[in-house]
């Protein structure tokens, strides 16, 4: 039985207030421990892919600049050695470049071929971004479902208490305490929803 079925069964077959409180706490921990962690993980993967796309777009623009610099025979540049250490380098043949094609494999290409390759690779990465955006939307929908279920259950419980108190006109401490706990949980659920 998954969490959603347990939530529905507890709402239908609830015996006492303690079961309901346990259910609310379980839903809060499910949202915080499971769904929000899944959301962070998927957003991190999407952001990494977006950074790769940005880097490839900058490389395409730089390659276009190299193509426009046809009259220069030699180009001086800074090359990163690692750990923020740079060294001057001279580019003797600016008509060819090594492009990473995947898993630390590089291929020598002409500048025009490299631009075409990078544009195709950007399109593939944009498809990956679309996939991760769908995954993020799915997790956000699950969060909304759990929060909406909590709000509807809390509203039902409040309505039951309110109709009971109207008919009996007796306000004991347990009823008032229960009302405040329901209102507090409802406010917490609404704040999570926004």
pTM passes above 0.75: no
Q: Is the pLDDT of residue 170 over 60?
A: no
Rounded CA-CA distance 130/46 in Å is 9
Question: Mind listing the pLDDT tens digit for each residue in 44-72?
Answer: 999 999 999 999 999 999 899 888 887 77
Q: What is the mean pLDDT of the chain?
A: 79
Rounded CA-CA distance 188/194 in Å is 10
pLDDT at 175: 60
Question: Mind listing the pLDDT tens digit for each residue in 31-48?
Answer: 888 888 999 999 999 999
Contact by Cβ (8 Å): 11, 156: yes
DSSP string, 8-29: HHHHHS--SHHHHHHHHHHHHH
pLDDT at 49: 97
Structure tokens given for 14: 């609830």
Contact by Cβ (8 Å): 179, 154: no
Domains contained in the chain, CATH given: 3-193 (1.10.287.370)
Exposed, middle or buried, 147 (CB in 10 Å: 0-12/13-18/19+)?
buried
Dihedral angle sign, alpha carbons of residues 73, 78, 81, 87: positive
Q: State mean pLDDT over 158-181.
A: 62
Cross-strand bridge partners of residue 38? none
pLDDT at 122: 97
Q: State mean pLDDT over 102-113.
A: 91
Strands (E), the chain: 75-82, 85-91, 96-102, 105-110
């Amino acid at each position: 039985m998954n969490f959603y079925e347990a939530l529905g069964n507890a709402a239908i077959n609830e015996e006492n207030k303690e079961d309901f409180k346990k259910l609310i706490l379980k839903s809060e921990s499910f949202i915080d421990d499971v769904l929000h962690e899944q959301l962070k993980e998927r957003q991190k993967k999407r952001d990494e892919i977006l950074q790769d796309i940005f880097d490839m777009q900058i490389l395409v623009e730089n390659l276009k600049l190299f193509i426009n610099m046809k009259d220069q025979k030699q180009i001086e540049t800074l090359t990163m050695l690692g750990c923020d250490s740079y060294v001057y380098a001279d580019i003797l043949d600016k008509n060819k470049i090594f492009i990473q094609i995947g898993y630390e494999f590089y291929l020598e290409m002409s500048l025009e071929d490299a631009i075409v390759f990078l544009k195709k690779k950007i399109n593939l990465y944009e498809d990956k971004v679309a996939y991760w955006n769908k995954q993020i939307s799915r997790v956000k929908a699950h969060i909304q479902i759990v929060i909406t279920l909590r709000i509807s259950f809390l509203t039902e419980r409040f309505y039951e208490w309110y109709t009971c108190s109207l008919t009996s006109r007796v306000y004991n401490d347990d009823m008032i305490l229960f009302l405040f706990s329901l209102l507090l949980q409802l406010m917490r659920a609404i704040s999570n929803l926004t």
